[in-house]
Structure 1
Amino acid sequence: MSDHSLSRRGFLRTSSIAAGVGVVATLPARANAAGAVFRHGVASGDPTPDAVILWTRLTPTDDAIPGSGQGPDAAVGWAVSTNAAMSSTVASGTVTASAASDHTVKIDVDGLLPDTTYFYRFTAVGQSSPVGTTHTAPADDADVEQMRFGVVSCSNWESGYFGAYRHLAQRTDLDAIIHLGDYIYEYKTGGFAGKYGVIRTHDPVHEIVTLADYRIRHAQYKTDPDLQAAHLGVPWICTWDDHESANDAYDGGAENHQPATEGDWATRKANSVQAYYEWMPVRAAGSSTNRHLYRRLRFGTLMELSMLDLRTYRSKQVMPYQGREVDSPNRTITGAEQMSWLTGGLVSSPTQWKIVGNPVMITPTLIPPLDPQTTEALTQLLGLPAAGVSYNADPWDGYTADRARLLDALRTNNIDNTVFITGDIHSSWACDLPVDAANYPAAGTVATELVVTSVTSSNIDDLTKTPEHTVGRVAEEAFKALNHHVKYVDLDTHGYGVFEVSKTAARMDHWYLTAKEDPNSGIYLGASYRVESGSQRVTPA
């Protein structure tokens, strides 16, 4: 944030590059091979009861590489079937892939049956893509017993391997995967590595700014076989945070954007948005003149999922110690239109559970006094001044008026079963959302928050270059001692969440990698927390 950078990630700069070993492929070998037409895999997303987005990227000729603007138009056939052999087609068609959209292809297939598994495939230039699997949402009036989602965020290519995606791809019990932001990172090589240095080098090696840059970076991520495998098996529901554009982005700029050398922010933001919509299996909401990423998906009478965009419309961040500015009712993290949509949807929702896909933490937090090394790492991770202050200005703690509007709407309308699922902070949390943090628990709680850790992006042990669960454990206990509404926090591990919603409870299982720098990393179950229906409280599962 201007000259007083509050970036929780951008302080670490290193030029060391560690040699990485190859990732074990989990897709057909030709998916990534030179000469392969569908070398970036296939994906589906945003399932509704009768529709789903299908995505792929075509490489019709060897010169038609991402971001090049080169390559001929090519006809791409697509088909949807009720069996993996693709012998029972229920929908099909042909579209044209061209350099204008970086040869990406997106089809919004409708006319499908609710709560049904489908298989899909693309064909072009004499080749066929891998066969993907997707699933439509239950009908709006369906009596759904349970939904289960993989939940991920903050997947930095340079910081490690995508073992979290590999393990999610191996599961057979997921309805979808929810990505809460930072699907890619914009930094130059070495801009934000972990304690092991750069595990894999970014392409391009410079910070991405132009449309071609963003396309190339998205394409690199989609060459990862573990990411491809995770997309292959289930639909994804995604939103962006800041690194899809630039660190600590807001409506008129970003901490990691320098107009003098990188041009105007509006152009860079537009470049990032265009590449995101080209390369991601998302369905924009709104109209052609008011396209936006925040949107709502429904899963029977059990739950609605409201996916937020907390970067496009927010006011510029202020320093956390500027209390009056932080509390100003004229500052916003959602923008007025999105806030009205969010509160209106939560208050009027006909479903039992109201789930909010929330890119940055909404729980109020205070930073406890710790030893100097841990305090320095913690404040850098959370985006605070080095001396430490009572809250972080980049998440909802920096926009207290908007948080109060939202929580007051829930409280005054007696809305229960609202659960925020969150990414961004590279750590795992389970929290009650208090009416008044200073008077917790007496004042009561209005919602809950379950935060998943990063796929690879650096957290406390990375920043302090210490073994996992040493320095971090001290900070975790101090956090909970000072913030009694925080019931669980793990500041050191990487991995993913499995989020289950049933009629009796919502539950997050935190699965952690044994070593993100190992392409064959194992996993273990680190913790499980649940919210009993009607309770507005998190408890160990």
Structure 2
Amino acid sequence: MKIDRRKVLGLLGLSGAAAGEAVAQPINWYKGPVAFEHGVASGDPGTTYAIFWTRVTPKQQPAGDIEVQLDVAADPDFKTIVASSRTLRAKASADWTVKHDLDGQGLKPATEYFYRFKANGVTSPVGRTRTLPAGKTQDVVLAVTSCSLHPNGYFNAYDAIAKLDRVDAVLHLGDYIYEYGGGPKDYGMNSPVAKARVPEPIHEIVSLADYRARHAQYKTDPALQAAHARAPWIVVWDDHETANDSWIGGAENHDPKTEGDWAARKAAALKAYYEWMPIREAAAGTLPEAAWRDFQFGDVASLLMVETRLTGRTQELDYDVDLPMVDGKPDLAAFTAKWKDPAHRMMGEKQEQWLAGQVGASTKAGTAWQVLGNQVVMARVAPPSLSKTMGQEAFQGLLAKLPDYAKKRVALSDAMSAHDIPSNLDAWDGYPADRQRVYDILTAAQARPIVLAGDSHMFWVNELWNDAGDKRVAVEFGATSVTSPGYGDILPGVPLGEAFVQRNKEVKYAHPSAKGYLLLTLEHGKATGELIAVSTIVDTKYEASVLKRFVVTPASGGGVEALKEG
């Protein structure tokens, strides 16, 4: 039976109403014992507002809605309370999460505030948030992160972010949770710490209850709680918040025969995401997938968070299917026709129009930088040639040590490096016509763009050039994962990063195994990206250090100058 997508969204309550809202009529409140087991968070800040989030856990069942109070103060001791919302509602129908959009209640631009929640005589931990600056601004500091696979390691990168002396906002570019189960062969379960971090529920998540439980488990992590309490977060999903390699009509890790209708699963995943994350609810009359939105950091930066999974993306190509062999040789012409087809989309037209409008308005206003908060790597990245980087003798020695499945993949990648085709068809490189449309938008507006990317589990520093190869359009910083394994974990000690740089004009630096986050400092005359690595993810005792530092300067007439290591 075909399920109507809009009816599914309605049944699951995705109507655009906030989870925490002022109460209009008397309610039979739950008055029993409660706890704040999942910390506090803030997000989607503006100059005079922010979203404030928590989850109130009832300790007795059955439990109805819970009355909640939010206090926002100018000091950590709450001696000067600047705003108070006394009757918020943690709804049972929203998994007892409460999310309040505080606007027009005395908050000032570029100001740090402290907040807490109270319910049934219990007080939550205290969080810190910061409103966005307005007008003339000296600088902006952003921590950029992605890809946190719970069983694969401890969230030390989040802990390091929580300990920063200054961070104006945390950008999470997706894969905040993972959908996989906790079986012996499931993703990340071969980690030395997996037994202490078994996914909940232990099976792959499909239903609304499953997605809620997985979000709840993540938010019990002390490092993640600390990072949420440190600063406002600006988030967007990638694929694992629903299912691996998701697109508008399905996902690689979704089998309709055994896991039901994709629209129903997606709606459940998004409902849980909006409940459990400090993100502004979708506007009334719009679908929740349309999560693109903008943030203005004074005259220093316009941050444009794009959505590249669920609103416009067509199904990615597959080399096994879309690169046929003719007389034992790959039919590159047939593949290229599909690969470069303008109908092969990453974004929909509506989002593209929104992006053009935002970029144009930002440059006309004289904003120093246009920053794209984006899920996947945008640079051209052809498969690396390890045989050239290592030498044939060392390369053959590597192959001899690998299991058969890995040997086949590494040998195939090396052979494919002779062709100008993508190493990752799920990234922007798999959608070149759409990427060029984005470049055209940036170039037409004479923007000074910095692209941020997650997903790849690697650090990247890239220069982005147009299709003609005659104009440097932007610089890209790719944030590595918090814990999710990268190529360097699978092939330890192999010079993959060097091989990527040697093979690809646009790749200036790549580190395939480091875990950590990106610290981006934006000023009028330069932007500095610091790749912060943590020393381990299999022990909670770690050290954080700057792996590399790169400086970008704007070019006259739009675009950017060449990267410089600084």
Q: Is the Cα contact below 8 Å between 1:487 and 1:539 reproduced in 2? A: no
- Determine if the alignment matches structure 1 residue 251 to structure 2 residue 267: no
Q: Is the Cα contact below 8 Å between 2:368 and 2:448 reproduced in 1? A: yes
- Structure 1 residues 36, 229: CA separation in 2 closer, same or farther (over 3 Å shift)? farther
Deviation at 1:277, TM superposition (A): 0.3
2:382 aligns to what? 366
Deviation at 1:61, TM superposition (A): 2.1
Deviation at 1:118, TM superposition (A): 1.1
**Cα distance in 1 between the residues matched to 2:465 and 2:459:** 19
SS in 2 for 1:537: coil
Q: Is the Cα contact below 8 Å between 1:182 and 1:241 reproduced in 2? A: yes
Provide structure 1 residue ranges, at least 5 long, that are not aligned to the other structure: 1-34, 64-69
- Determine if the alignment matches structure 1 residue 125 to structure 2 residue 120: yes
**Cα distance in 1 between the residues matched to 2:282 and 2:562:** 32
2:74 aligns to what? 82
Deviation at 1:204, TM superposition (A): 0.4
Deviation at 1:338, TM superposition (A): 0.9
**Cα distance in 1 between the residues matched to 2:453 and 2:358:** 19
Alignment of 1:82-231 (within 5 A): 82-93=74-85, 94-111=87-104, 112-139=107-134, 142-190=135-183, 191-193=186-188, 196-197=191-192, 198=194, 200-231=197-228
- Structure 1 residues 100, 527: CA separation in 2 closer, same or farther (over 3 Å shift)? same
Select the residue among 457, 471, 496 that pairs with 1:426.
457
Q: Is the Cα contact below 8 Å between 1:60 and 1:125 reproduced in 2? A: no
Which amino acid is 1:537 matched to? A
Deviation at 1:523, TM superposition (A): 1.7
Q: Is the Cα contact below 8 Å between 1:285 and 1:294 reproduced in 2? A: no
**Cα distance in 1 between the residues matched to 2:38 and 2:261:** 31
Deviation at 1:288, TM superposition (A): 3.3
- Determine if the alignment matches structure 1 residue 400 to structure 2 residue 392: no
Which amino acid is 1:89 matched to? I
Larger radius of gyration: 2
Per-residue CA deviation, residues 157-203 of structure 1 (Å, 9 max, x unaligned), is 01100000111111121111110000000001142117635252100
2:28 aligns to what? none
1:487 aligns to what? 508
Deviation at 1:339, TM superposition (A): 1.3
Deviation at 1:286, TM superposition (A): 3.9
- Structure 1 residues 196, 110: CA separation in 2 closer, same or farther (over 3 Å shift)? same
1:306 aligns to what? 304
Q: Is the Cα contact below 8 Å between 1:363 and 1:397 reproduced in 2? A: yes
Per-residue CA deviation, residues 428-468 of structure 1 (Å, 9 max, x unaligned), is 0111101247x4xxx1301110101000000123223x3xx
**Cα distance in 2 between the residues matched to 1:97 and 1:311:** 30
1:517 aligns to what? 538
Q: Is the Cα contact below 8 Å between 1:411 and 1:446 reproduced in 2? A: yes
Q: Give the structure-1-normalised TM-score.
A: 0.86
Q: Which has the higher contact order (CA 8 A, sep 6+)?
A: 1
User: What do you get for the CA RMSD once the two structures are aligned?
Assistant: 2.2
SS in 1 for 2:269: helix
Which amino acid is 1:527 matched to? K
Which amino acid is 1:138 matched to? P
Q: Is the Cα contact below 8 Å between 1:384 and 1:393 reproduced in 2? A: no
Q: Is the Cα contact below 8 Å between 2:300 and 2:369 reproduced in 1? A: yes
Q: Is the Cα contact below 8 Å between 2:246 and 2:309 reproduced in 1? A: yes
Which amino acid is 1:136 matched to? T
Per-residue CA deviation, residues 314-362 of structure 1 (Å, 9 max, x unaligned), is 1011125422112111121111111111122113312110000010011
2:485 aligns to what? 458
1:241 aligns to what? 238
**Cα distance in 2 between the residues matched to 1:194 and 1:475:** 24
Deviation at 1:87, TM superposition (A): 2.3
SS in 2 for 1:419: strand
**Cα distance in 1 between the residues matched to 2:532 and 2:406:** 24
The 10-residue stretch of structure 1 (171-180 or 278-287) with the greater mean CA deviation from structure 2: 278-287
Q: Is the Cα contact below 8 Å between 1:251 and 1:311 reproduced in 2? A: yes
- Structure 1 residues 378, 517: CA separation in 2 closer, same or farther (over 3 Å shift)? farther
**Cα distance in 1 between the residues matched to 2:508 and 2:231:** 31
Per-residue CA deviation, residues 131-182 of structure 1 (Å, 9 max, x unaligned), is 111111012xx11110001111000101100000111111121111110000
**Cα distance in 2 between the residues matched to 1:347 and 1:132:** 35
Q: Is the Cα contact below 8 Å between 1:153 and 1:180 reproduced in 2? A: yes
- Determine if the alignment matches structure 1 residue 504 to structure 2 residue 531: no
**Cα distance in 2 between the residues matched to 1:272 and 1:230:** 23
1:435 aligns to what? 466
SS in 2 for 1:498: strand
SS in 2 for 1:402: helix
2:344 aligns to what? 331
Select the residue among 38, 41, 44 that pairs with 1:40.
38
Select the residue among 44, 49, 67 that pairs with 2:47.
49
1:355 aligns to what? 371
Provide structure 2 residue ranges, at least 5 long, that are not aligned to the other structure: 1-32, 324-334, 387-394
- Structure 1 residues 157, 480: CA separation in 2 closer, same or farther (over 3 Å shift)? same
Aligned residues: percent identity?
Answer: 40
Which amino acid is 1:456 matched to? T
Q: Give the structure-2-normalised TM-score.
A: 0.82
Q: Is the Cα contact below 8 Å between 1:416 and 1:536 reproduced in 2? A: no
Per-residue CA deviation, residues 100-153 of structure 1 (Å, 9 max, x unaligned), is 0000000000122111111111000110001111111012xx111100011110
Select the residue among 270, 276, 280 that pairs with 2:277.
280
Q: Is the Cα contact below 8 Å between 1:155 and 1:183 reproduced in 2? A: yes
Select the residue among 66, 70, 73 that pairs with 2:65.
73
Which amino acid is 1:365 matched to? V
Q: Is the Cα contact below 8 Å between 2:377 and 2:456 reproduced in 1? A: yes
Deviation at 1:386, TM superposition (A): 9.7
- Structure 1 residues 155, 342: CA separation in 2 closer, same or farther (over 3 Å shift)? same
SS in 2 for 1:337: helix
1:18 aligns to what? none
1:32 aligns to what? none
Per-residue CA deviation, residues 266-289 of structure 1 (Å, 9 max, x unaligned), is 000000000000000011454333
- Structure 1 residues 427, 323: CA separation in 2 closer, same or farther (over 3 Å shift)? same
- Structure 1 residues 379, 103: CA separation in 2 closer, same or farther (over 3 Å shift)? farther
Deviation at 1:492, TM superposition (A): 1.1
- Structure 1 residues 96, 152: CA separation in 2 closer, same or farther (over 3 Å shift)? same
Per-residue CA deviation, residues 243-298 of structure 1 (Å, 9 max, x unaligned), is 00000000000000000110010000000000000000011454333442110000
Q: Is the Cα contact below 8 Å between 1:57 and 1:105 reproduced in 2? A: yes
SS in 1 for 2:520: strand
SS in 2 for 1:287: coil
- Structure 1 residues 377, 182: CA separation in 2 closer, same or farther (over 3 Å shift)? farther
Q: Is the Cα contact below 8 Å between 1:379 and 1:385 reproduced in 2? A: no
**Cα distance in 2 between the residues matched to 1:419 and 1:265:** 34
Q: Is the Cα contact below 8 Å between 2:346 and 2:434 reproduced in 1? A: yes
**Cα distance in 1 between the residues matched to 2:165 and 2:514:** 24
Q: Is the Cα contact below 8 Å between 1:446 and 1:536 reproduced in 2? A: no
Which amino acid is 1:355 matched to? V
**Cα distance in 2 between the residues matched to 1:202 and 1:143:** 46
**Cα distance in 1 between the residues matched to 2:368 and 2:449:** 9
**Cα distance in 1 between the residues matched to 2:408 and 2:155:** 26
SS in 2 for 1:148: strand
Select the residue among 34, 47, 61 that pairs with 2:59.
61
Alignment of 1:411-422 (within 5 A): 411-413=443-445, 415-422=446-453
The 10-residue stretch of structure 1 (290-299 or 257-266) with the greater mean CA deviation from structure 2: 290-299
Which amino acid is 2:49 matched to? A
Q: Is the Cα contact below 8 Å between 1:71 and 1:98 reproduced in 2? A: no
**Cα distance in 1 between the residues matched to 2:380 and 2:407:** 16
